[in-house]
Amino acid sequence: MLILSSLKTKLPLNKTTFLKHGLNYTIIKKEAADFADAFDIVLRPPLLLKNCLPIPIKLVYNEDSNGNCG
């Protein structure tokens, strides 16, 4: 419960923050919710893709519902 309280009070609103752990980063963002004094804490963990196929794979990033590319 202490971690959630800390995230609510210390994270800036609508600003992307990165949490480094080892060689990876997790993206954290606090967004306003539909209710007063409520927030959505969005965690985007790292994604690791490995190609074990005998042909190359092409990866294309599309725009998400917030209009962000990535």
Per-residue pLDDT of 39-64, as tens digits, reads: 888 888 888 788 899 999 887 766 66
Mean per-residue pLDDT for 23-34?
86
CB 44 within 8 A of CB 50: no
Q: What is the largest CA-CA distance in the chain?
A: 53
Does residue 5 have a pLDDT over 80?
no
Q: How many domains does the chain have?
A: 1
Residue 6 has pLDDT above 60, yes or no: yes
- How far apart CA 51 and CA 66 sit, in angstroms, is 29
What span, in angstroms and rounded, lies between the C-alpha atoms of 49 and 63? 19
pLDDT (tens digit, 9 = 90+) per residue, 7-21?
A: 778 888 888 888 888
Q: Which residues span the domain enclosing 69?
A: 1-70
Residue 66: name the closest of 45, 38, 44 by CA. 44
Integer Cα distance of 26 and 46 in angstroms: 6
